[in-house]
């Protein structure tokens, strides 16, 4: 009742709007008055409700509401109540969940000084151990955990970019029911009934679908849950899974095992379509380090043979690369196996000689070689690789077997198939999908989305970071907490467990998988911290648990959790004979995307704009074909084609990739998302409709048809370089074979212009304490792209979007150029990371009219953003084209999440200014402050640029070139050291160490 009385007052009514002034009534009112009366308007005169309202509203809207019935008595009542309530909130004890800083103690927290915490990023069940830089409790940068055996300081692109994933403004912020925002309480209420109903059925209707789980705690929780509900089932699926690896191991050993490689000890490495030098391959970060260590031409240099179906950065590093269709890899493995073990009798082929030479090289390095098979190769190839490693005596030396990291190493495709069968069979009452996006990425023949939509499962719950395609088809969506917000644990490729400790309270009150499973087990309010800690308390009982826990958090891993090496017995009999070479005219390969993986990172702008290591493609996934096939089909890059496979059709643009095998097409997964967010939605083309459970990686019988349309692609490196006469012969990348290098170690050096050949007086940098310089060892660089993302994260570099990349306005301060050399069908490829050269005679500096770019006495080419007016003359005059211009307002100045994410030590650039690599001047100065306070010089080990820090190959070395003992000085003193475009007399501070390949002399023609 009371409410109704108040209602009219709450509406903002302006006189004349609500009701028309009635002149007749006004006249009547005047006529009806007696004596002198004054009126202010006709409305007042008429005494209308509108006028009274206006009188009431003498003050602005809202002011008069305070008067509404707020008596002194009521006020006191309210005050008393709120005071009492305030007291009560103060009594709610926040749970004590201490997290432990890595390097610096919390009591040392100084505003402006970051703290580092160890945690771990997980992808596909494998942990990337990381340290997270935290500024005032805001995580801002991911770095590798130098003490962890799986990182040694390096990271991978996905881990690097995960910080943006956490601050993604498109992440799901709420629990929702049919798209409407709900509370955690209402979700609890909704699930309580069905859960208790399932109690009686022993959980027969409960199905849980997770992605690969390696978390010991989560696996334990799920197993306990299955004890409470014995009839419930736990299914596992993710599109980029290791089914083939597990099946291959089963074939060879009868059980799934994890294979680890010790590349440090391998003299000869043979990759059978394994892209083991790029993120996504388990252990890649460590493998890159070990591989790069053995690329030193002055040491005992290894040799890499790669047979691959899609040009990859691993293939680019190969000393001998054999482009083969994916279906022919098995045949090649057979040839190799025959040459090694003579236990099969493959058909003679054009690659027999190659295989024999490789085999003899392998045999020469008995116990110091390794054969690695690619995850997407069929089980037989894995089994053959196991057999070959066994025959070569590598097991226990370069190849180690352990228990699988995957806590539930089932065949994921089968697992999902069973789930769908149950769904269609009406056996599922409660489906909980934790992570993953099967509605988008499940095999097309399963029709998962259709099953989810049409089988009328009474309760479907999706727990995920995004309200994605799967969330759309579930009634309930619970927003998941990001790994940087939640407690968990996970295993690295060697089995070492890392505790995942949160860096920040969940931004949107998300729930972790642990909390979700706890809820299903009936512990609705268990916190992630308690669950994880309780599990480890069980594993490590005893009085020293507190110390154990602190140490594990501090170090970032739990000591002694690495799996022990095992020696499974090879079932020689079951090693298959290789299948005959495929005769299908055209094969279609599916590959995880090097930037956005299976699609889960598709809303990550850094990754979307991260150039594919080989094609330099951003924002899109054109299908790759080889040059010969393109000529035959008369296709050009950017032509649209229709791919038809078993009646399913997908349209996509073409990209001609040098070195791609003939009659083969590579399609990258993860694009064409419908509900990804501002960055991912609509980018690229969805290839999942062509991908079936029977042919998840390799399908044959593809029809390819030119549609006549074209599609603009955003590659950061033009493809037109191939058709110019001079392009291939410029001395930008300098390379030689090991034999040539031994004969002529100075081959890369050329006479540099004498000092003093400049109009302007030089500066004696030698007299300074520091002269900053960088050496990039192209022999170590594997083109993994880490430095690009690390730089982007460290230096607040903007994402510009596809249209701008097409024009050429991407902002990366550091890029990795890829150059090809030789035959288009199988060229040699080289990677060259290009940051600012910090030229001592910088061409950019003399042309700036306002002096916005200047040289420091320590040799830095500094950019003064405040002074820059944006003439772009410096960029024109930069021969390395490392300068980047803010043509538009590329930075997002509005989104609050991004404000939290940015590195507070680096200016956020606005429109109209030039920017470029600073050699991470903020890090130099941070080290300088520390060193000066301690009255010493900056030591070589304490200062690393962001690119150097993240480089898993240790290819980038930055430091003081005035110190002859610094690592960078030693590298620059090497014979391989050369300056890029040094003949221009720019005297760059960034120099390169020429690339040396180690080809097998027997295969050299």
Partner 1 sequence: MDEQTKSVTSSKQAPVIEPGYTFATVTDKISAIVLQRPTSNGWFVGFGIGFLLTMMMLFAIGYLFVRGTGIWGVTIPIGWGFAIVNFVWWIGIGHAGTLISAILLLLRQSWRNSINRFAEAMTLFAVSCAGIFPLIHVGRPWLAYWLFPYPNTMGVWPQFRSPLVWDVFAVSTYFTISLLFWFIGLIPDLATLRDRSDNRWAKIIYGILAMGWRGSARHWHRYETAYLLLAGLATPLVLSVHTVVSFDFAVGIVPGWHTTIFPPYFVAGAIYSGFAMVLMLAIPIRKLYGLEDFITERHLENSAKVMLATGLIVAYGYVIEAFMGWYSGNRYDAFTLWNRLHGPYAFFYYMLLACNIVIPQVLWSKKLRTSPVWLFFISGVVLVGMWLERFIIVVVSLQRDFLNSSWGMYYPTRWDWMTYIGTIGMFLAAIFLFVRILPMISIFEMRTLLPEAEVKE
Binding site for partner 1 (CB under 8 A): 717-718, 720-721, 724-727, 729-730, 732, 760, 804, 807-809, 815, 817-819, 832, 834, 843, 846-851, 867-873, 875-877, 879-881, 883-889, 911-914, 980-981, 984
Q: In this structure, what DSSP letter does residue 444 have?
A: G
**Cα separation of 46 and 558, whole Å?**
84
Whose structure tokens read 């089968």? 414
3-state secondary structure of 385: helix
State the DSSP code for 681.
B
- What are 80's two structure tokens? 């008393």
Cβ closer to partner 1: 843 or 904?
843
CA distance 242 to 896: 39
Q: 508 burial class (0-12, 13-18, 19+ CB within 10 angstroms)? A: middle
Q: For 305-308, which contacts have Cβ atoms below 8 Å and span 24 or more sequence positions? A: 305/268, 305/269, 305/270, 305/271, 305/358, 305/361, 305/1000, 306/270, 306/271, 307/270, 307/271, 307/272, 307/273, 307/332, 308/271, 308/273, 308/275, 308/374
- The residues pairing with 430 across neighbouring beta strands, listed in sequence order, are 206, 459
Using DSSP's 3-state secondary structure scheme, residue 655 falls into: strand
Q: Residue 198 in contact with residue 430, Cβ under 8 Å?
A: yes
Q: Do 50 and 19 touch, CB atoms closer than 8 A?
A: yes
- Find the DSSP H helices in 376-475: 379-391, 412-424, 438-441, 448-454, 469-472
* 471 versus 878: smaller Cβ distance to partner 1: 878
Q: Buried b / exposed e across 846-877, counting CB within 10 Å, b at 16+?
A: eebeeebbebbebbbbbbeeeebeeeebbbee
* Residue 59 DSSP symbol: S
Which of 30/869 has CB closer to partner 1? 869
Please identify, using beta-carbon distances, which residue of 3 and 894 lies nearer to partner 1.
Answer: 894
SS3 649: strand
What distance lies between CA 569 and its chain's CA centroid?
Answer: 37
**Sequence-ordered list of residues with C-beta below 8 angstroms from that of 687, at least 6 positions apart, any chain:** 590, 621, 623, 650, 652, 667, 668, 669, 671, 672
Phi-psi bin for 450: left (phi > 0), alpha (psi -120 to 50), beta?
A: alpha
CB of 773 to partner 1, least distance (A): 20
H or E stretch covering 374 = none
Q: Please, what is the minimum distance in Å from the beta carbon of residue 881 to partner 1?
A: 4
Residue 146 or 864 having the CB closest to partner 1:
864
For partner 1, the closer of residues 2 and 729 by Cβ is: 729
Give the nearer residue to partner 1 in terms of CB position, either 14 or 888.
888
The token pair that represents 204 in the structure block: 């027969």
- Secondary structure (3-state) at 798: coil
Distance of CA 78 to the CA centre of its chain: 52
Q: How far is the CB of 813 from partner 1 (least distance, A)?
A: 12
Q: Which CB, 645 or 913, lies closer to partner 1?
A: 913
- What token pair was written down for 25? 């009534």
Residue 396 or 879 having the CB closest to partner 1: 879
Question: What DSSP element (H or E) covers 370?
Answer: strand 369-373
CB of 167 to partner 1, least distance (A): 25
Minimum CB distance to partner 1, residue 754 (Å): 18
What residues have CB less than 8 Å from 88, skipping those under 6 apart?
Answer: none
Q: What is the token pair recorded at 994?
A: 């020429």
Q: How far is the CB of 847 from partner 1 (least distance, A)?
A: 5
Q: Which is nearer to partner 1, 268 or 868 (CB)?
A: 868
For residues 818 and 778, what is the distance between their CA atoms, to the nearest angstrom?
11
Closest CB to partner 1 among residues 253, 820: 820
560 versus 756: smaller Cβ distance to partner 1: 756
Q: CA 559 to CA 542: how far, in whole Å?
A: 16
Q: Of 904 and 912, which has the nearer Cβ to partner 1?
A: 912
Q: How far is the CB of 748 from partner 1 (least distance, A)?
A: 17
Closest CA to 731 of 715, 747, 753, 754: 747
- The distance of closest approach from Cβ of residue 716 to partner 1 in the complex, given in angstroms and rounded to an integer, is 9
Nearer residue to partner 1 within complex by CB, 691 or 884 = 884
Of 524 and 732, which CB lies nearer to partner 1 in the complex structure? 732
Smallest gap from Cβ 406 to partner 1, in A, equals 40
Q: Which residue lies nearer to partner 1 by CB, 264 or 817? A: 817
Nearer to partner 1, 13 or 852 (CB): 852
Which two tokens mark 921?
């001047």
Determine the Cα–Cα distance for residues 688 and 881; give it in Å rounded to an integer. Answer: 38
Q: Estimate the share of the chain in helix, then strand, then coil, as percent rounded to the nearest 5.
A: 35, 20, 50
Minimum separation from the CB atom of position 274 to partner 1 (A): 28
Question: Is the separation of the CB atoms in 605 and 164 below 8 Å?
Answer: yes
CB nearer to partner 1: pick between 739 and 847: 847
712 touches 655 (CB < 8 A): no
Chain center to CA of 206? 32
Q: Alpha-carbon distance 162 to 156, whole Å? A: 10
Nearest distance in Å: CB 633, partner 1: 24
* Cα–Cα distance measured from residue 951 to residue 285, given in angstroms and rounded to the nearest whole number: 9
């Amino acid at each position: 009742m009371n409410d109704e009385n108040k209602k009219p007052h709450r509406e903002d009514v302006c006189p004349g709007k609500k009701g028309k002034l009635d002149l007749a009534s006004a006249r009547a009112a005047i006529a009806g008055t007696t004596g002198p009366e004054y009126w202010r308007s006709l409305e007042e005169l008429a005494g209308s409700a509108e006028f009274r309202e206006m009188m009431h509203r003498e003050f602005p809207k809202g002011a008069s509401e305070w008067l509404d019935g707020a008596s002194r008595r009521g006020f006191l009542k309210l005050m008393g109540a709120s005071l009492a309530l305030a007291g009560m909130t103060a009594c709610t004890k926040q749970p004590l969940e201490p997290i432990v800083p890595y390097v610096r103690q919390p009591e040392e927290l100084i505003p402006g000084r970051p703290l580092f915490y160890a945690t771990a990023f997980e992808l596909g069940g494998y942990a990337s151990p990381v340290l997270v830089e935290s500024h005032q409790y805001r995580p801002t940068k991911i770095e590798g955990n130098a003490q962890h055996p799986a990182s040694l300081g390096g990271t991978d692109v996905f881990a690097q970019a995960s910080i943006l994933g956490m601050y993604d403004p498109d992440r799901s912020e709420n629990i929702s029911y049919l798209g409407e925002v709900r509370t955690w309480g209402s979700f609890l209420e909704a699930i309580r009934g069905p859960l208790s109903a399932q109690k009686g059925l022993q959980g027969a209707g409960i199905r849980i679908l997770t992605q690969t789980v390696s978390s010991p705690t989560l696996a334990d929780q799920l197993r306990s849950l299955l004890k409470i509900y014995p009839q419930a089932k736990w299914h596992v699926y993710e599109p980029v899974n290791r089914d083939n690896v597990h099946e291959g191991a089963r074939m060879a050993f009868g059980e799934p095992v994890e294979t680890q490689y010790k590349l440090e000890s391998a003299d000869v490495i043979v990759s059978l379509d394994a892209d083991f030098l790029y993120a996504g391959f388990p252990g890649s970060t460590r493998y890159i380090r070990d591989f790069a260590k053995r690329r030193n031409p002055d040491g005992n240099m290894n040799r890499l043979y790669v047979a691959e179906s899609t040009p990859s950065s691993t293939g680019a590093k190969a000393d001998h690369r054999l482009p083969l269709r994916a279906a022919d890899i098995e045949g090649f493995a057979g040839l190799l196996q025959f040459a090694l073990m003579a236990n099969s009798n493959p058909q003679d082929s054009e690659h027999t000689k190659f295989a024999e030479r490789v085999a003899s090289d392998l045999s020469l390095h008995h116990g110091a070689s390794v054969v690695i098979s690619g995850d997407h190769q069929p089980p037989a190839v894995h089994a053959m690789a196991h057999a070959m490693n066994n025959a070569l005596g590598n097991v226990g030396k370069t190849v180690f077997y352990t228990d699988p990291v995957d806590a539930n190493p089932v065949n994921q495709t089968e697992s999902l198939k069973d789930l769908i069968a149950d769904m269609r069979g009406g056996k599922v009452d409660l489906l909980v999908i934790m992570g993953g996006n099967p509605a988008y990425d499940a095999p097309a023949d399963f029709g998962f989305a259709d099953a989810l939509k049409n089988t009328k499962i009474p309760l479907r719950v999706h727990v995920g970071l995004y309200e994605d395609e799967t969330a759309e088809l579930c009634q309930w969506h619970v927003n998941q907490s990001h790994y940087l917000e939640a407690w968990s644990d996970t295993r690295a490729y060697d089995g070492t467990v890392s505790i995942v400790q949160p860096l920040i309270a969940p931004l949107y009150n998300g729930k972790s998988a642990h909390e979700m499973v706890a809820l299903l087990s009936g512990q609705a309010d268990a916190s992630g911290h308690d669950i994880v800690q309780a599990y480890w308390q069980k594993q490590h009982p005893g009085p020293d648990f507190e110390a154990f826990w602190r140490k594990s958090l501090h170090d970032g891993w739990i000591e002694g959790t690495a799996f022990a090496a095992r020696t499974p017995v090879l079932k020689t009999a079951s090693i298959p004979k290789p299948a005959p070479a495929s005769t299908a005219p055209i094969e279609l390969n599916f590959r995880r995307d090097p930037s956005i993986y299976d699609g889960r990172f598709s809303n990550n702008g850094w990754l979307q704009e991260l150039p594919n290591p080989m094609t330099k493609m951003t924002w899109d996934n054109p299908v790759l074909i080889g040059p010969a096939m393109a000529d035959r089909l008369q296709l050009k890059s950017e032509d649209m084609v229709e791919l038809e496979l078993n009646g399913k059709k997908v349209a996509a643009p073409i990209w001609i990739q040098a070195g791609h095998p003939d009659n083969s097409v590579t399609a990258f997964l993860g694009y064409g998302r419908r509900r990804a967010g501002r960055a991912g939605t609509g980018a690229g083309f969805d290839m999942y409709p062509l991908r079936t459970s029977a042919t998840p990686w390799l399908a044959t019988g593809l029809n390819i048809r030119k549609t006549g349309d074209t599609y603009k692609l955003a590659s950061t490196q033009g493809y037109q370089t191939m058709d110019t006469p001079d392009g291939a012969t410029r001395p930008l990348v300098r390379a030689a074979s090991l034999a040539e290098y031994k004969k002529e170690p100075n081959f890369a050096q050329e006479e540099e212009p004498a000092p003093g050949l400049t109009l302007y007086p030089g500066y004696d940098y030698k007299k300074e304490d520091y002269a900053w310089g960088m050496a990039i060892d192209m022999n170590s660089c594997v083109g993994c792209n880490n430095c690009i993302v690390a730089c982007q994260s460290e230096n607040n570099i903007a994402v510009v979007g596809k249209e701008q990349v097409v024009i050429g306005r991407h902002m990366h301060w550091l890029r990795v150029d890829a150059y090809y050399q030789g035959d288009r069908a199988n060229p040699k490829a080289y990677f060259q990371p290009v940051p600012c050269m910090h030229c001592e005679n910088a061409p950019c500096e003399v042309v700036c009219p306002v002096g916005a770019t200047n040289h420091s006495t320590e040799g830095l080419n500094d950019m003064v953003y405040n002074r820059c007016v944006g003439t772009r003359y410096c960029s024109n005059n930069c021969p390395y084209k490392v300068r980047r211009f803010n043509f538009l307002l590329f930075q997002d100045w509005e989104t609050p999440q991004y404000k939290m994410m940015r590195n507070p030590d680096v200016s956020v650039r606005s429109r109209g200014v030039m920017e470029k690599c600073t050699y991470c001047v903020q890090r130099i100065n941070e080290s300088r402050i520390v060193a000066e306070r301690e009255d010493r010089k900056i030591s070589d080990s304490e200062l690393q640029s962001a690119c150097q820090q993240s480089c898993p190959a240790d290819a980038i070395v930055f430091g003081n070139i005035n110190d002859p003992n610094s690592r960078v000085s030693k590298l620059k003193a090497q014979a391989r050291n050369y300056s890029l475009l040094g003949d221009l007399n720019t005297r760059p501070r960034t120099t390169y160490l020429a690339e040396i390949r180690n080809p097998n002399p027997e295969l050299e023609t």
